[in-house]
Amino acid sequence: MGAPAPRSRLAAWLAIAALIIVADQVTKVAVDKLFAYGERLPLLPVLDFTLLYNRGAAFSFLAGADGWQRWFFTILALGVSGFIVWMLSRHGHQRLFSWALTLILGGALGNVIDRFIHGHVIDFVLVHYGDWFFPAFNLADSAITVGAVLLIVDEIRKPRSGDTPPAT
């Protein structure tokens, strides 16, 4: 593992995660106040704002369960968030990796807040084409997705043992 990151570096990553959480919560509160459940506002031919509630996880996984999933996903997200903070404390100097973790952290905690307060996650971005609809999502989900993509990019860019370094 790496050496612990300076506290200021960790604090900066956590501040960015906090900004993601605030932006996520502000957008969710606004949509929840401005829209009736299921109401749609077309923005583009393939994009609407619509207020939907997700009691499950990604793609409404376990949304139809008896309610235990709220606490399961909350505890899971809090555990993962703790691990991410620990990883940021150890690897905060790795910029791409830390951006990825920070986006995932902010998104995960944004959705945890929803689950804790409302018992569901507020979703409002709906992408569709004809009769095809992508599951509705929110800013937190977007941050998690971008973070996951950045993790993959970071992993692809890492040199492997046995690789020869590029000539300079």
State pLDDT tens for residues 9-43. 999 999 999 999 999 999 999 999 999 999 999 99
* Averaged pLDDT for residues 107-120: 91
Mean pLDDT computed over every residue of the chain: 86
Cα–Cα distance list, 141 to 73, 95, 108, 114, 145 (Å): 14, 21, 8, 12, 6
Confidence of residue 61 (pLDDT cuts 50, 70, 90): very low
Catalytic residue among 24, 48, 114, 123: 123
Distance CA 69, CA 27 (A): 24
Q: Is 32 a catalytic residue?
A: no
Q: How far is CA 166 from the centre of its chain?
A: 35
Q: Is 123 a catalytic residue?
A: yes
Confidence of residue 163 (pLDDT cuts 50, 70, 90): low
pTM value is 0.83
